Chain A
């Protein structure tokens, strides 16, 4: 956890004639992440094994069938697995059979499409000619006349008669355009053509058809026959798809495996008599790898000392539940090998944040059930991971819903102390809570709840901000040493700590830590932590920052937190200047404004409160309206009320999934990851294949 799995750089060496055996074994073991080889004096990149071209040809053919049949391997769960030997035996026979069954059908289907297209093109010409009503033999073949047949946008006769009046024009309207046939003496032909072009003239090529009606009927008949044949072909293809899908995919897997193996030499360096393959193996698996590969006694596995510029691949190492969240981390970036893997932190806080925002037992339950149901439908790995996350988030929402006392909306009417009479479940729910007086444990629709939660989420924000910088410090320290780490991250850690102390000092003056609830959290701290006298909140007046010269009576407000903040901010500023001035010159000082950005990002955690509140109030409004509409003394339209409830809560649920999900993700990506996580690692992808349709 928190670190990618440790890798060992190794080389696999053997005599050249063992290359095929090596590729076979490495593929089977499926552990070695092969590095791209660099050619050297005696070593050249190997050539693919002989069978590669044949295999890849068959594979291309097979894949074209699979894509034509629209078989989605992600949706198919194999009923039985095939042995490689079995596939190998039937391969050539099956390929021929498919060529015959599917290939010929695809071919025929394609030619039918082409014919239909040809017929439709012809129809598009003949139909206008039929409207024009002039037989085709009268439209062409003149010696002294030019005949223009085609479409124009407007009536050109007036323009044309300016050239000469010795012409004849037939004009018909056809689908918003004008269809014209214009006959003119050959000598005016070019002038007429130019004028017609100005009217957007589009020529119709006149075919040798005399009886338009007969030809149209003929085309229609032919087209119908072709369509029938096409439909028949499609049913046949569908039948093949149902029958052969699994075998097709098994063969595809087999051929892909064979192709991988036969192209492996491209990743190896080969000299006259030997070969070398360099790559990484997880340290834990090294012994297993070595014993498997060295089994025939002719190939040797050797561990290589890692060099400074080596970039090992990243294999995230997390327990099962956390592994689902790797999806969210890698969407941002793949951690580099030496970097901290933030997935476990993300797993905990993403789930908590989601629950904190949605915080409703009803919605949480629905999300959980929905996700569990969808898990039985969408079987691909990505979906499974995403839906697992949804289940955890659903459970977290139920827990927080219990704490907040919300079930499809708040349990307590906002602004009143007593349990809501217009709650969705009304008194039924009150009865459920035998400890009704103590529930909700934390009420976020009351004023105190909002204030307290606001402060709590800001606390979370400050904590995560500092944590982010601490992790960043570690990352930079590992890669570039202590000095860089202090300049780049440590400096801001101290700065933000100073900022946090300022916020605490401000809060202390607001009596948040010293007053009983309603005003604060109770007497958590003694109320005499003032340095220069004491301070009390004046009615209706915000607490000033004790800045000498700017605020009257500033001495009174100086408490221990402000006193702590001062040296922290000074230390931050000094380190900051030492780090920035050499790089940026004197104007680097402007960059100190960045401290305000971090303040903004702490405030940004207020969304944990805000998103939740909006969804609570939407739910509340839906419940309120429904009760008013559905029951006397309201309109007593129960069906309308029920529809409103269903639609309203469905919509709110949708928002409740999307918004907390996105905002929680954003709080990690933007406010947390930017402090320490750079990413850009190579994903560990071992040479080999996880078999789905085949078995060993």
Chain B
């Protein structure tokens, strides 16, 4: 069916683009889920002690590495196939 609609190369490119999107998007969801718990705890800690603000913000962004991984994967996909 694929052959009928588009050639093979286009199909691969499309799949790679979708994969790249999924890599960033799903990683983003994962990081968001991770950050939600940390963020809530950090806000609680800050409410107790204002001086925790800096450290709290920092802890909150730690899971963001996962998105960066996703992004790197998507770059590789885009460079390699699209």
Contact = CB atoms under 8 A, between A and B. Distances in A.
A complexed with B: yes
Interface string B23-42: 00000000000000000000
A139 to B, nearest CB: 46
A603 B58 contact: no
Nearest to A662: B61
B62 interface: yes
A663 B61 contact: yes
Contacts of A454: 72, 75
A606 B64 CA distance: 11
Contacts of B57: 662
Interface residues of B, number: 17
Contacts of A450: 75
Interface string A624-668: 000000000000000000000000000000000000001101100
B68 A606 contact: yes
Contacts of A600: 65, 69
Nearest to A665: B58
Contacts of A332: 55
Contact of B58 (A447, A610, A662): A662
B20 interface: no
A454 B75 CA distance: 9
Given A447-B79, A540-B80, A542-B80, A666 B68 contact: no
A669 interface: yes
Contacts of A331: 54-55
A670 B55 contact: no
A604 interface: yes
Contacts of A670: 62
B64 A663 contact: yes
A451 interface: yes
A526 to B, nearest CB: 25
B64 to A, nearest CB: 7
Nearest to B55: A331
B15 to A, nearest CB: 13
Interface string B48-74: 000000110110011011011101100
A540 to B, nearest CB: 7
Nearest to A605: B68
A338 interface: no
Nearest to A454: B75
B71 A610 contact: yes
B72 A603 contact: yes
Given A447-B79, A450-B75, A607 B54 contact: no
Contact of B68 (A540, A603, A662, A669): A603
A604 B62 CA distance: 10
Given A331-B54, A540-B80, A669-B58, A607 B64 contact: yes
Residue among B55, B62, B68 with max Cβ neighbours from chain A (10 Å) = B68
B61 A540 contact: no
B11 interface: no
A146 to B, nearest CB: 49
Given A454-B75, A665-B58, A666-B58, A540 B81 contact: yes
Q: Give the interface size bracket for A toward B.
A: 20 to 34
A235 B68 CA distance: 57
A540 B65 CA distance: 28
A606 B72 contact: yes
A604 B65 contact: yes
Contacts of A610: 67-68, 71
Contacts of A542: 80
Nearest to B76: A542
A265 to B, nearest CB: 31
Contacts of A606: 68, 71-72
Nearest to B70: A610
Nearest to A604: B65
Contacts of B79: 447, 451
B58 A607 contact: no
B68 to A, nearest CB: 5
A42 to B, nearest CB: 42
A142 to B, nearest CB: 53
A289 to B, nearest CB: 32
Interface string A660-687: 0011011001100000000000000000
A607 B61 CA distance: 12
Nearest to B24: A610
B54 to A, nearest CB: 4
Given A447-B79, A451-B79, A454-B75, A666 B69 contact: no
A604 B71 CA distance: 10
B14 to A, nearest CB: 15
A605 to B, nearest CB: 9
A666 B75 contact: no
Interface in A359-394: none
Contacts of B67: 610
A666 B71 contact: no
A610 B75 CA distance: 10
A273 B36 CA distance: 64
Nearest to B67: A610
Nearest to B79: A451
Given A331-B55, A447-B79, A451-B79, A666 B62 contact: yes
Contacts of B64: 607, 663, 666
Contacts of A540: 80-81
Contact of B61 (A447, A451, A603, A666): A666
Q: Nearest 10 A-B pairs (CB), nearest first?
A: A331-B54, A604-B65, A607-B68, A610-B71, A606-B72, A606-B68, A662-B61, A666-B61, A604-B68, A603-B72
14 contacts: A331-B54, A332-B55, A450-B75, A451-B79, A542-B80, A603-B69, A606-B68, A607-B65, A610-B67, A662-B57, A665-B58, A666-B58, A669-B58, A670-B62
Interface of B: 54-55, 57-58, 61-62, 64-65, 67-69, 71-72, 75, 79-81
Interface of A: 331-332, 447, 450-451, 454, 540, 542, 600, 603-604, 606-607, 610, 662-663, 665-666, 669-670
